Structure 1
Amino acid sequence: MRSVELSAMDISCNHCKNTIENGITGIAGVSSVEVDIEAKRVTVVFDEYRAKTDTVLAEMAELGYPAEVIAG
């Protein structure tokens, strides 16, 4: 399993949190998603053989929350 921490400056509310968690959890291989609204960060744990960081970043952008990797 791999963990990656993302920064997404457009996160501002619980709706954002729910949209991101539901969208990213739908990616095959993702086991958990944690959104910190205050810090504007998203932590994603996934099976690196089934999902890729680029896939997570693309889904974040598709959901309307462009992000960048800050750790992992």
Structure 2
Amino acid sequence: MTTKTLDVKGMSCGHCKMTVEGALKKLDGVSAAQVNLEEGKVDVTFDESKVTVDKMKEVIEDQGYDVEV
């Protein structure tokens, strides 16, 4: 398992937190996702053999947020 921190712009409330965490946790290979609203970051624990950072970035952007890796 690998843990990576993604910078996510545009998150401002509890709904944002639930949306981003929920989208990531639906991906096969993601075991944990923890949003820090104050810092605009998401810590994701995942299996690199099952999911890529690009795929995680894509699902977050599909929710309407900007991601910087």
- Equivalent position of 1:56 in the other structure: 56
Q: Provide the C-alpha distance between the structure 1 equivalents of 2:9 and 2:52, rounded to a whole number of angstroms.
A: 21
SS of the residue 1:67 aligns to: strand
Residue 13 (1) aligns with residue 13 (2): yes
Structure 1 unaligned blocks of 5 or more: none
- Report how many aligned residue pairs link the two structures: 69
Q: Provide the C-alpha distance between the structure 2 equivalents of 1:7 and 1:30, rounded to a whole number of angstroms.
A: 17
Structure 2 unaligned blocks of 5 or more: none
User: Normalization by structure 1: what TM-score?
Assistant: 0.92
- When the two chains are superposed, the root-mean-square deviation of aligned CA atoms in Å is 0.6
How far off is 1:46 after superposition? 0.2
Structure 1 runs of 4+ aligned residues shifted over 6 Å read none
1:1-72 equivalence runs, <5 A: 1-69=1-69
- State percent identity of aligned pairs: 35
